[in-house]
Amino acid sequence: MPGTPMHIYLRNIFIMALFVLIPVWSKAETLESGSRRNPDFAGVMLDRTEKFRGDDTTQDIRLSHFNYAEDPGNILFLNFDNELPFLLKDISGNFAIRESNYIFTADSRIGRGAALFNRIGNKIVIGSPEELWPGTGPLDDFTMELWINPGYFYRNNTVFKKVGMMEGVKRGIELSIHDDRAHFSLYNMFEDGEENRHTIELRSISRIPIKEWSHIAVAYRAAEGRLLMTLNGREEGTANARGRSGVWRASFHPLDRSPLILGESYSGIIDDFRITSEFSPDAGGSALFPPVHVNAVNARSEQMTGSVVSSVLAPARGRKSAYGRLAYSADMPPGTGIDFLIRYDTKPFTVDTPEDVIPWRRIDIRTDRIPPFSYLQWKARLRGEADGRATPVLKEVKLDFAPIFAPHTPTNLRSVPELTQDRVVCLEWSKSPEGSVQQTGGYYVYYGLRPGEYLGRLDYRFGGAGPERIRHIPLPSELTRGELQESKEHPDSLNRKLHNKIRLLITNEIIERNMVQRMRDGRPVTLPLLDNNRTYYFSVSAYNEPNAPDQESAQAAEIHVDVKPKPDL
């Protein structure tokens, strides 16, 4: 990272979780980005983040360089990214540029360009209307900061000034460089309780190097009369505008209309010149990424974060997955962090689906398992160091999951002759080995009047509680006479015999109730009823989720059943 020593990084922080396999899982699958198998973060949406090619040649993601143009506290902001100097504008939208005479250079500290001043006449003149800072009223809280890269030092180098001669007295503010040190002067800006005017000057202790970038900031807190200068984030000079009578008042002359002038007597490059309405001398400094901002009034802190949002991911053909795991690899310098959120559903959704429809959920990827899903989207929030000097780097993201495949085909389908007569058919088959069939799925019973041509499908059996999915019952209530007798004499033996068996007694009443239960377009589904002296063909399938074709097994070997009336004797 530019400007950040590599040794502050915690290399190869890899947060990965193993997931527990359950019987319905088949071969595990992985969807990954930024890895050697899939080196790019394709399809992700970036907000205040950027992609770059990492050391291992795969794509990584970090915070974008902080754009101070977005700071709502800006009074004036010039970033010089436009290649045409005559189009220079105050990005905060407050000031008018009267004259813009400099050379555009791509040798910028941040952004696409900077302003080079190396010729006679180079300067930027900015209008100073009465209603805008500095204006004509009291001097309130402010911070003025900029990056400079001097090419040569004159005896007197004026970087910025807003100075007027009022009533024969020099009055205003000026940032200059003398003897390789920064000087910030406030000429006759302060008035004590006896109406005496005072000039205050701040001087940096450290020298400003030539042909290197340096950040200078000067801040004033009006309530305390406190002045502070920093150089590259380090405190260099302080002063207190106060006396025995208290804090001195500071103001510009009410008739002063002198403009703001930048780079009039200076040889070098200037970038990101900014004036804000807050006392924040460390806001810029060496910050490359969004720093923490502390509100001096309520002591609350805020810090902008960047985010990476994936496309909607899905297992093959949208097949439902059992519990999955999310994992990532990152470089995280001390004080930085990455938080993950996910949203998921068993039905298709898009990146534009509103959050109130499918909400984002925080996830601790060290411990949390993702519930069953068919479609999933992840979001990573990147938070930089508090002073904005370092960013986390997201190197790799993996979604490990195991699709839920269709269960095994039911076996041993047969009719129970003793319980099949007089418009009643009793079917029996062996229970499916998948636990998901019993928990979230069930069995479908297909039947028709010709081999392989099924006119009806039964989804439900009916008990005292109403409609129930056709599932395994530990001891069926449909028993033959011999089984009833055995249940009395040898119940354990009967339990072992029927332990893995499913029985379903099909009557016309059950068929009719299935018709009502399976409404379609507000109308009951039509199913054929049972009649005597007819042959019916039956098959059974198992499923993990109702009405999910990819989670339904193949149909069991077909059987035919002759339905005969009850004997007269």
Instruction: Look at residues 201, 244, 240 and name the one whose alpha carbon lies nearest to residue 224.
Output: 240
Q: How far apart, in whole angstroms, are the C-alpha atoms of residue 236 and residue 446?
A: 86
Contact by Cβ (8 Å): 415, 39: no
Inform me whether the pLDDT recorded for 542 exceeds 90: yes
Helices 481-489 and 491-498: crossing angle, nearest 10°? 130
In whole angstroms, how far apart are CA 340 and each of 13, 367, 375?
15, 13, 17
Confidence of residue 15 (pLDDT cuts 50, 70, 90): very low
Tokens 């500095």 label which residue? 134
Inform me whether the pLDDT recorded for 341 exceeds 70: yes
pLDDT in the model for residue 554: 92
* Lowest mean per-residue pLDDT among 42-51, 220-229, 247-256: 247-256
- What's the token pair of residue 292? 């923490």
Overall average pLDDT of the 178-183 stretch: 94
Instruction: Write out the DSSP string of 260-301.
Output: EEEEEE-EEEEEEEEEESS--TTSSTT--SPPPEE-TTT--E
Domain shared by 84 and 150, yes or no: yes
Q: How far apart, in whole angstroms, are the C-alpha atoms of residue 397 and residue 408?
A: 33
Confidence of residue 41 (pLDDT cuts 50, 70, 90): very high
Please indicate whether residue 520 or residue 36 has the higher confidence score (pLDDT): 36
Inform me whether the pLDDT recorded for 18 exceeds 50: no
Amino acid at 310: S
Contact by Cβ (8 Å): 101, 88: no
Domain shared by 35 and 175, yes or no: no
Confidence of residue 300 (pLDDT cuts 50, 70, 90): confident
Inform me whether the pLDDT recorded for 122 exceeds 80: yes
Confidence of residue 557 (pLDDT cuts 50, 70, 90): very high
Overall average pLDDT of the 446-464 stretch: 92
- What's the token pair of residue 272? 């990101």
* Domain boundary pick from 256, 286, 316: 286
Please indicate whether residue 362 or residue 487 has the higher confidence score (pLDDT): 362
Confidence of residue 569 (pLDDT cuts 50, 70, 90): low
Domain shared by 47 and 95, yes or no: no
Contact by Cβ (8 Å): 69, 77: yes
Overall average pLDDT of the 439-457 stretch: 94
Contact by Cβ (8 Å): 416, 41: no
Note whether residue 557 is domain-resident.
yes
| pLDDT tens digit sequence for 413-443 | 999 999 999 999 999 999 999 888 999 899 9
Domain shared by 373 and 515, yes or no: no
Note whether residue 293 is domain-resident.
no
pLDDT in the model for residue 398: 94
Tokens 């007089």 label which residue? 422
pLDDT in the model for residue 26: 46
Count other Cβ atoms within 10 Å, centred on residue 65: 18
What are the DSSP E strand ranges found in 79-213?
97-101, 103-105, 114-117, 123-126, 142-152, 157-166, 169-178, 181-191, 197-203
Domain shared by 23 and 157, yes or no: no
CA end-to-end distance (rounded Å), the chain: 95
Confidence of residue 469 (pLDDT cuts 50, 70, 90): very high
Confidence of residue 64 (pLDDT cuts 50, 70, 90): confident
Inform me whether the pLDDT recorded for 8 exceeds 70: no
pLDDT in the model for residue 27: 59
Residues 6+ apart with CB under 8 A from 79: 68, 69, 91, 110, 111, 271, 272
* Lowest mean per-residue pLDDT among 255-259, 387-391, 473-477, 517-521: 517-521
| Secondary structure (H, E, C), 305-354 | CEEEECCCECCHHHCCECCEEEEEEEECCCCCEEEEEEEEECCCCCCCCC
Backbone angles phi, psi at 213, to 5 degrees: -80, 135
Of the ranges 64-68, 112-116, 301-305, 405-409, the best mean pLDDT one: 112-116
Inform me whether the pLDDT recorded for 334 exceeds 80: yes
Note whether residue 296 is domain-resident.
no
Q: How far apart, in whole angstroms, are the C-alpha atoms of residue 512 and residue 518?
A: 10
Amino acid at 417: P
Residues 6+ apart with CB under 8 A from 547: none
Domain shared by 132 and 215, yes or no: yes
Residues 6+ apart with CB under 8 A from 257: 128, 130, 164
pLDDT in the model for residue 2: 41
Please indicate whether residue 475 or residue 457 has the higher confidence score (pLDDT): 457
Q: How far apart, in whole angstroms, are the C-alpha atoms of residue 565 and residue 214?
A: 101
Domain span at residue 147? 68-286
In whole angstroms, how far apart are CA 538 and each of 169, 498, 535, 553, 555?
108, 21, 10, 15, 10
Inform me whether the pLDDT recorded for 62 exceeds 50: yes
Note whether residue 392 is domain-resident.
yes
Q: In this structure, what CATH number is given to the domain that contains residue 45?
A: 2.60.120
Beta pairing, strands 114-117 & 267-276: antiparallel
List the Cα angle 108/109/111 in 5-degree steps: 70
Element (DSSP H or E) covering residue 543: strand 534-543
- What's the token pair of residue 155? 């005896």
Q: What percent of the chain lies above the pLDDT cut of 90?
A: 56
- What's the token pair of residue 172? 């205003």
Q: How far apart, in whole angstroms, are the C-alpha atoms of residue 70 and residue 407?
A: 55
Domain shared by 204 and 339, yes or no: no
pLDDT in the model for residue 290: 77
> What is the average pLDDT score of the chain?
86
Domain shared by 15 and 90, yes or no: no
Domain shared by 520 and 546, yes or no: yes
Q: In this structure, what CATH number is given to the domain that contains residue 510?
A: 2.60.40.10
Backbone angles phi, psi at 444, to 5 degrees: -105, 140
Overall average pLDDT of the 376-393 stretch: 91
* Domain boundary pick from 371, 401, 431: 401
Note whether residue 249 is domain-resident.
yes
Structural domains in the chain (count): 3
pLDDT in the model for residue 282: 61
Q: In this structure, what CATH number is given to the domain that contains residue 218?
A: 2.60.120.200
Note whether residue 1 is domain-resident.
no
Note whether residue 292 is domain-resident.
no
Domain shared by 27 and 176, yes or no: no
Note whether residue 521 is domain-resident.
yes
In whole angstroms, how far apart are CA 66 and each of 61, 74, 272?
15, 14, 11
Domain shared by 58 and 142, yes or no: no
Domain shared by 79 and 225, yes or no: yes
Contact by Cβ (8 Å): 317, 348: no
